[in-house]
Amino acid sequence: DSGVTQTPKHLITATGQRVTLRCSPRSGDLSVYWYQQSLDQGLQFLIQYYNGEERAKGNILERFSAQQFPDLHSELNLSSLELGDSALYFCASSSTGGLDTQYFGPGTRLTVL
């Protein structure tokens, strides 16, 4: 157990819908990262937050947005969902957001029908 929690574990929804994935980092960690893992593209970095501020941005679609709240939990919002958005979404946390170790959560499996 990495100490990072993600909810829900599974999510099934329809095309065009909007969903919110939630992540609670390890106690004391200030930085949160979001990743998407699909069978054909592997693990893709989406975005990083550090203490509430955006620090780095990957290939995150405009339909996707994220934020980190004052209590340091983070949410990833996915809207106008398409079939291709079906994937495992991982959250990771680290203490400083630099080159320190990232601890990954168990993931949320999103299925878009």
In the complex, which residues of this chain contact another protein (CB under 8 A)?
2, 4, 33, 35, 42-45, 48, 55-58, 90, 92, 99, 101-107
Residue tagged 């990083």 (tokens)? 48
What minimum distance in Å lies between the beta carbon of 45 and another protein? 4
For another protein, which is the closer residue by CB, 18 or 57? 57
For another protein, which is the closer residue by CB, 79 or 104? 104
Secondary structure (DSSP) of 3-29: S-EEE-SEEEE-TT--EEEEEEPPTT-
The amino acid present at 97, given as its one-letter code, is G
What minimum distance in Å lies between the beta carbon of 15 and another protein? 25
For another protein, which is the closer residue by CB, 83 or 99? 99
CA distances from 68 to 1, 8, 25, 44, 84 (A): 22, 17, 10, 19, 25
What minimum distance in Å lies between the beta carbon of 16 and another protein? 28
The amino acid present at 6, given as its one-letter code, is Q
